[in-house]
Amino acid sequence: MPITHLPLNALRAFEAAARLGSMNAAATELGVTHGAVSRHVKALEERFGLPLFERHPRAIVPTREGAQLASELAEAFDRMQIAVSRVQPGPLTLSCSSTVMMRWLIPRLEKFKRANQTIELRLNVNYDNVDFIREEISLAIRTSIYRAPAGAVAETLIHEEIGPVCHPDYADRLGLSKPEDLLRARILGSATRPQAWTDWAAALGRPELQMTPNEVYAHFYLVIQAAACGLGLALAPRLLVDDEIRSGHLVAPLGFVAGPYELQLWIADHLRGRVDVRTTANWIRAEMRAM
Amino acid sequence: MPITHLPLNALRAFEAAARLGSMNAAATELGVTHGAVSRHVKALEERFGLPLFERHPRAIVPTREGAQLASELAEAFDRMQIAVSRVQPGPLTLSCSSTVMMRWLIPRLEKFKRANQTIELRLNVNYDNVDFIREEISLAIRTSIYRAPAGAVAETLIHEEIGPVCHPDYADRLGLSKPEDLLRARILGSATRPQAWTDWAAALGRPELQMTPNEVYAHFYLVIQAAACGLGLALAPRLLVDDEIRSGHLVAPLGFVAGPYELQLWIADHLRGRVDVRTTANWIRAEMRAM
DNA sequence: CTCTGATGTGATAAAAACTCACACGAATGT
DNA sequence: ACATTCGTGTGAGTTTTTATCACATCAGAG
């Protein structure tokens, strides 16, 4: 089949269906109905004379050839997206977790905007992996729990220091001064980082301490909020509670210790040359260093 | 612009127009009228809000952005073509010059087909560069005058030996026994390799010999044919006249000397794993070694 | 100074893509 | 156990896109 007659739209529909494992999802991504995707895939299969998916009642599974084709097509479409984005540069998009956004970025955003009035900043909330090309992400702040995906380069921002924090009165009332004291306290956990307390015990050199949360919040910033309201103890990276400690809303009765993770900056490989990306990356590095 | 709404067909039309430097040529390649291409390009320019071509009365010249976009798109489309060709492997396509085909390949083709009955062989005539991906070439036989393009790997088949050849009677009549004798003879040249006689003189260590052809043929195989008919002297690689010499139709009164070029086999990078490609490459290597 | 060869464009035809509505079949939930 | 839900396939009809045709335009070639 000559390159001049490749059924491009069908290939795109197929690639989306294979990547998402669902015609329906692909249809949503492409902004059409599932029928349209189904027809595209069928047309491709007829053209190639081989099945690209195994059809199961509620799911489709790519065949070997289908999976192979889809992954190579994905690369090709990525390149195309990059090519177009170079002549049509979108806004600079920074991705970080809701917690980093609440407790670190938003408090500094006015300052950033004042210093960089020409940079149009778009924010994206996401705490784990993200497709830099498909979602047009320029920069991401992430913990090293996750690995930077292909197409992005990672660099260390800071090594996380972690420690239990709570309302000052709460610490006084319970008399918290050594790790064992926490066993009497109300432990607050986060669904997004369930192993946080265990990590801390390990970092302390006290892995035997069983710190199972009494209460689990969906987002980490809620845990901090709950701690600040006197509901118990949160285990927080210093970075995210420093302001509250300075203002006296929180205390860290046992201080902080070096945690197992670092905070990283991920930069979209194909955007490393863009001025606004470099500027913003530098700003993030400087702000982190100033902590 | 999100990847899900890239105007793929317009991008392909634009890429072709940019590559070929002409809307008309792109239209021919795509099998549509020039108007269709023109509209696609215009739609893209409106979408991007910037011109992709400078319009001149009888020509279009890509703008800086246009050229950049086109070259990156070309890569993306190449990948797509490769991806599809992996699930839809076409026939094995061997490209060589008309002369190599006439004088080397065709005489051996029966033998090849007998030994490899399952391989569907398609032949392509071309003596210089060729786009392995776009034209779906698997293998090419070329002299090292040309460099293998990106997407192909080159390997040496043989080092060319070159020498003047003519009809036996012609050599006798003129008494050809040393290089100077040729100044009395009728020199036949080829348009595709105008420097051949000069190369030979240099290879002999006699660069002062002015061997300007008295007659120039469009194809090299015509030169050999003319020499075999007693019209004069052709300068030929031994490879291409060995059969004629063996059968007595041609003689090489001054023998052969190592020429400046080698004969190479170019293999499409993305097809190196294909069995039929490996088999055919091995056959070519073996036949060359047997010369 | 006309001819030629390339591109641009309005009107219209053709083709492609999409939607709608319904069918189907098995996992899910009560 | 059985109705429900969820995801996919498809016939018929509609909308949207793409292409064609025919003509306009322009400047350099002959």
- Write down the pLDDT at residue A45: 97
Q: Which nucleotides of D are covered by protein (CB under 7 A)?
A: 6-11, 17-22, 26-28
- Write down the pLDDT at residue A218: 86
- Write down the pLDDT at residue A10: 98
End-to-end CA distance of chain B: 59
- Write down the pLDDT at residue B129: 85
Task: Decide whether B92-156+262-289 matches B160-260 in CATH topology.
Answer: yes
Is A77 within 8 Å of B3 when comparing Cβ atoms? Answer: yes
Token pair of A171 as six digits: 């610490």
- Using the predicted structure, report yes or no on whether residue A198 has a pLDDT greater than 80: yes
Task: For the domain made up of A3-87, give the CATH fold.
Answer: Arc Repressor Mutant, subunit A (1.10.10)
CATH architecture observed for domain B92-156+262-289: 3-Layer(aba) Sandwich (3.40)
Give residue-wise pLDDT tens across range A17-47.
Answer: 999 999 999 999 999 999 999 999 999 999 9
Find all residues with CB under 8 Å of B12, minimum gap 6, and list them.
Answer: A4, A8, B30, B73, B77
CATH tag for A91-291 (out of 3.40.640.10, 3.40.1360.10, 3.40.50.150, 3.40.190.290) = 3.40.190.290
Residue A243's H or E segment, with its range, is helix A238-246
In chain B, the percentage of residues whose pLDDT exceeds 70 is 100
Token pair of B184 as six digits: 């009395």
Cα A9 to Cα A12: distance, rounded to the nearest angstrom: 5
Establish whether the CB of A74 is closer than 7 Å to any nucleic acid atom in strand C: no
Span A272-291, average pLDDT: 94
Is A3 within 8 Å of B133 when comparing Cβ atoms? Answer: yes
**Among partner residues A30, A79, A88, which is closest to B75 by beta-carbon distance?**
A79
Find all residues with CB under 8 Å of B189, minimum gap 6, and list them.
Answer: B196, B197, B212, B213, B215, B216, B217, B223, B235
- Write down the pLDDT at residue B168: 95
Q: Does B88 touch chain A (CB under 8 A)?
A: yes
- Write down the pLDDT at residue B59: 87
Give the SS3 label for residue B150. Answer: coil
- Write down the pLDDT at residue A239: 93
Give B38→chain A minimum CA distance, Å.
Answer: 16
Span A147-173, average pLDDT: 95
Cα B246 to Cα B57: distance, rounded to the nearest angstrom: 58
- Using the predicted structure, report yes or no on whether residue B1 has a pLDDT greater than 80: no
- Nearest CA to the C1' of C16 belongs to which residue? A9
Q: Which nucleotides of C are covered by protein (CB under 7 A)?
A: 5-10, 16-21, 25-27
Instruction: Say which CATH class B160-260 falls into.
Output: alpha beta
DSSP string, A87-134: HS---EEEEE-HHHIIIIIHHHHHHHHHH-TT--EEEEE-SS---TTT
Is B4 within 8 Å of A16 when comparing Cβ atoms? Answer: yes
Give residue-wise pLDDT tens across range B179-210.
Answer: 889 888 999 999 888 889 999 999 988 888 88
Instruction: Give B-chain residues touching A4 at CB under 8 angstroms.
Output: 12, 16, 29-31
Q: How far is the CA of A36 from the C1' of D16 (A)?
A: 14
Q: Where are the domains of chain A?
A: 3-87, 91-291
- Write down the pLDDT at residue B76: 97
Residue in chain A nearest B64 by alpha carbon: A87
Give residue-wise pLDDT tens across range B198-254.
Answer: 999 999 888 888 888 999 998 899 999 999 999 999 999 999 999 999 999 999 999
* Greater pLDDT, B1 or B131: B131
Q: Does B122 touch chain A (CB under 8 A)?
A: no
Give residue-wise pLDDT tens across range A94-149.
Answer: 999 999 999 999 999 999 999 999 999 999 999 888 899 999 999 999 999 999 99
Interior CA angle at A141 toward A135 and A145, to 5°?
Answer: 100
